[in-house]
Amino acid sequence: MEKKKSKKGLRVLFIICALIMIPVVIFLVYTGFYYHATPKALAALESDDSVSVIQVDKDYLFDGPGEEDLMIFYPGAKVEVESYAPFLKKIAERGMDVYIVDMPFHLAFLGINFADDVISNYSYENYYMAGHSLGGAACSIYTASHSDIIDGLALCASFSTKKIDESVKTLIIYGSEDDVLNKDTFNKNLPNIPRGSEKYILHGGNHAYFGDYGFQRGDGIATITEEEQQDLAADKIIEFFLED
């Protein structure tokens, strides 16, 4: 009788362990496949006369000629953080420093409040949040609860799932050929954006070209190059936040 109970107990324990482990394995497999930075992106991590690129653990600070403004950038889901180096370097060389945060398992929703550490470790006059795709949605959640600290929000091929305070200057920017951005979800969340915000379309641009990580599954075919899209986006970000 005791042996039967013991065997039954072991079977129950095995089932419980399996029920726990199966989702963990699925998650690890899912996050183990992600978009990697191209050689061009990795080359942009080298400092030059305009921008010093400083690695901070797994994060990067793009320190350009500007001294007052810092943009904290959250990467898209399952995209290697280094992929955004060319784009962020362009923003920094135009006058706004950028700090990109590496996320656990390449998922910004697992590090929504990581901007806290960045802000506490640096002394800038103005702080902005920005993110690509689901990274933008994650940073919008942070912005919604920190409108006393964050001066502006840039959503690159993204949307805000939370109501953004009217005091936060907000820019939505995306490519005309973007087939990854869910337009229904995007339109549903537009009321969360403050009045006076701007929606800017990059004609010929797509979803993936905010970074340099190759073609993204389901994306549209861009009619401009990655460099052209990033130049247009960087110009617009600086114009919108710093030149008004």
CATH number, domain of 95, equals: 3.40.50.1820
| Amino acid of residue 198 | E
User: Which token pair is 91?
Assistant: 């923003």
Q: Are residues 60 and 6 in the same domain?
A: no
Q: Domain residues for 219?
A: 36-242
* Residue ranges in the chain modelled with pLDDT below 70: 1-33, 244
Instruction: Clarify whether residues 153 and 172 are in a common domain.
Output: yes
Q: Are both 53 and 3 inside the same structural domain? A: no
Contact between residue 211 and residue 87 where contact means Cβ atoms under 8 Å apart = yes
Do 6 and 41 fall into the same domain?
A: no
pLDDT at 196: 87
How many Cβ atoms from other residues are within 10 Å of residue 218's Cβ? Answer: 9
> Nearest 10 degrees: CA dihedral of 218, 207, 77, 21?
0
If asked whether residues 20 and 92 sit together in one domain, one would say no
Calpha distance 51→101 (Å, rounded): 18
- CA 113/CA 119 separation, integer angstroms: 11
Is 131 exposed, middle or buried, given 0-12, 13-18 or 19+ CB atoms closer than 10 A? Answer: buried
Distance (Å) of CA 244 to CA 119, 157, 187, 240 = 24, 23, 27, 6
Mark whether 24 and 95 lie in a shared domain: no
48 and 20 in one domain? no
**The predicted structure's pLDDT at residue 23:** 63
CA-wise closest residue to 130 among 91, 93, 167 = 91
Helix (H) or strand (E) holding 91: helix 85-93
Residues 142, 54: Cα–Cα separation, whole Å: 24
What number of residues does the chain have? 244
pLDDT of residue 27: 44
* In a shared domain, residues 127 and 216: yes
Which amino acid, 90?
Answer: K
Q: pTM of the full predicted structure?
A: 0.89
CB 160 within 8 A of CB 133: no
Q: Are residues 63 and 3 in the same domain?
A: no
Q: How far apart are CA 129 and CA 150, in angstroms?
A: 7
| H helical segments located in 125-225 | 134-144, 183-188
pLDDT of residue 28: 44
Contacts 24+ apart (CB under 8 A), 144-149: 146/115, 149/119
pLDDT value for 243 = 87
Residue-wise pLDDT tens digits, 124-142: 999 999 999 999 999 999 9
Tell me: do 2 and 18 sit in the same domain.
yes
Give the pLDDT score at 30.
47
CA angle, 52 as apex, 112 and 73 as ends, to 5°? Answer: 15
